Structure 1
């Protein structure tokens, strides 16, 4: 009668040993992710769109607002200031009271410990247009524009992430028009509408299991 119990004991022991050793490959995997993060960060240039998909439920829901390309839930624009790559972006209430237009380091924006996928898109816009976009974002940053929880693209006193990027691009150029998504009675700027405005071969993409350039 004791043999089955002994069998279960050894099975449990094997599971415990396996569990104790499981963090080792995970650490190696994260090291590999950090190498990819460093590589893709080095490729990002002044004026590139930067993208990510968070590892939380809210990010997954936001990604579904994209009708065609659901790889990303958040977008910003990277500019180099005093030799440092910084990302202008607007984030919501998960950041508590700091739900204002932010200017974070590129490394922090793309942090793979908080994101499942990261990427960038090169717009191909000229230096004059990029300067106008940068100046527009810098002005909005000083104004401390808050995140728009109502997702109302028709007002400028508050802006959600893709609205911020779309409006900055259109106001900084005289030729780019980013379309509005109209679905289920709601209109909004989606991330895939912004990406669809620029050549698809200008996008770099990395996720936990796949990398594309």
Structure 2
């Protein structure tokens, strides 16, 4: 009986310690990002839940991140504008969250900030696109269908916004995956092929010209400059 109690107490201590480490890690990310991030930057995070792992599986060059948003100003403060579904956002609406809330997402284990070059005019157009999408009540696309512009997923929202800001129809085109006989066959929207904007391709595509200014856990803040 005593042994069982001791084991339970030990597990509670381990869980408490792990939770403390996670909180400190998240706070490190928040403090570091706040010191370097600016309006228009793209922010990434990496979850470990089922949905996040599915998104990671579609990345080829790196599986560090599973979700992204863009840093914009709301009443003078930087917020993360992004779109997602699930239990944390049941109505699937476009969110504008404080940085703390975005990075404190359950099971989040990584974060990154990438600078994107935008003129003042392009930044204005980007705000206009996001504002219009929110007014039109664009929601998260659970089926990841590129032909339904009333529903978008995270990378699709940002690609459409940046394409509009830069005055281009498409900055780049999605990747096609053959899902026949794979565990993701249920995502098929058109035959056996599934067209998707993977997070890693969005992160590294030359047409976007994104530059990493912070990434955790790969390197520490201050080692990369704009």
Query: What TM-score do the two structures reach when normalised by structure 1?
Result: 0.82
**Mapped contact 1:178–1:193 kept (Cα < 8 A):** no
* 2:203 counterpart residue number: 195
Q: Measure, in 1, the Cα distance between the counterparts of 2:149 and 2:11.
A: 52
Deviation at 1:139, TM superposition (A): 1.3
Give the length in aligned residue pairs: 203
Listed as ranges, the gaps of 5+ residues in structure 1 are 1-8
Partner SS, residue 165 of structure 1: helix
* 2:185 counterpart residue number: none
Greater helix share, structure number: 1
The correspondence for 1:183, drawn from 166, 177, 193, is: 177
**Mapped contact 1:153–1:189 kept (Cα < 8 A):** no
Moved more, 168-177 or 71-80: 168-177
The answer as to 2:91 corresponding to 1:98 is: yes
Task: Write the mapping of 1:146-185 to structure 2, written as runs, cut at 5 A.
Answer: 146-174=139-167, 177-184=171-178, 185=193
Q: Measure, in 1, the Cα distance between the counterparts of 2:91 and 2:137.
A: 10
Partner SS, residue 104 of structure 1: strand
RMSD: 2.6
Deviation at 1:93, TM superposition (A): 2.9
Per-residue displacement from partner, 1:177-197 (whole Å, max 9, x unpaired)? Answer: 133111111111222222113
Partner SS, residue 115 of structure 1: coil
Listed as ranges, the gaps of 5+ residues in structure 2 are 179-192
Deviation at 1:22, TM superposition (A): 2.9
* 1:55 counterpart residue number: 48
The answer as to 2:204 corresponding to 1:204 is: no
* 2:188 counterpart residue number: none
Q: Which is higher, the Rg of structure 1 or of structure 2? A: 1
Provide closer, same or farther for how the CA distance between residues 14 and 193 of structure 1 changes in structure 2, counting only shifts above 3 A. same
The correspondence for 2:119, drawn from 111, 116, 126, is: 126
Deviation at 1:32, TM superposition (A): 2.9
